[in-house]
Amino acid sequence: MKLINNFVEKFHNYSLPSPEKCFVLEEGDDLYIDKWIKNGEINGKMKDIFEWIEKKYFSNKKQLEKTDKKKFDELMSRFYLKSWRIILLMCNYQTKYRYYSKAIISVKDRSFPEMKNKDFLKLFENN
């Protein structure tokens, strides 16, 4: 599994898609997560997939690392197991940020169309 090519660019532009659309399957992923692939695409929530991978393959992480170092290393690099939580957090945050930004702008435009955005947001500050 790999991240979409323009992940960093989209992150800086506040345009990250949902976590499921940020990951692209690679050849060989089906060996490990066949249960989560349907018609060549990811089928399910990324959080569930990563938690399943951790539970299935890393329930005894130290033992896997000792008994099958090659498989351990491949799983760690293939599925972003060190950083998947932060990747999902960034994707989810940006999705919510865009939604709430649009909601605030919509309320402002309907209620106070002549007011600037900064002035509108000051209405919610504690004095």
pLDDT of residue 126: 67
Inter-CA distances, 99 with 92, 103, 106, 112, Å: 11, 6, 11, 19
Residues 105 and 75 in one domain: no
Q: Is residue 73 part of a domain?
A: yes
Domain count along the chain: 2
Q: Is residue 13 part of a domain?
A: no
Q: Can you give the pTM of this predicted structure?
A: 0.72
Q: Is residue 28 part of a domain?
A: no
Whether the Cβ atoms of residue 36 and residue 49 lie closer than 8 Å to each other: yes
Q: Is residue 23 part of a domain?
A: no
- Give the model's confidence band at 46: pLDDT under 50 very low, under 70 low, under 90 confident, else very high: very high
Pairing of strands 37-38, 2-3: unpaired
Residues 114 and 94 in one domain: yes
Q: Is residue 11 part of a domain?
A: no
Residue 19 has pLDDT above 70, yes or no: yes
Residue 89 has pLDDT above 80, yes or no: yes
Residues 65 and 86 in one domain: no
Q: Is residue 69 part of a domain?
A: yes
Residues 60 and 94 in one domain: no
pLDDT of residue 60: 74
* Mean pLDDT, all residues of the chain: 86
Q: Which domain holds residue 67?
A: 41-79
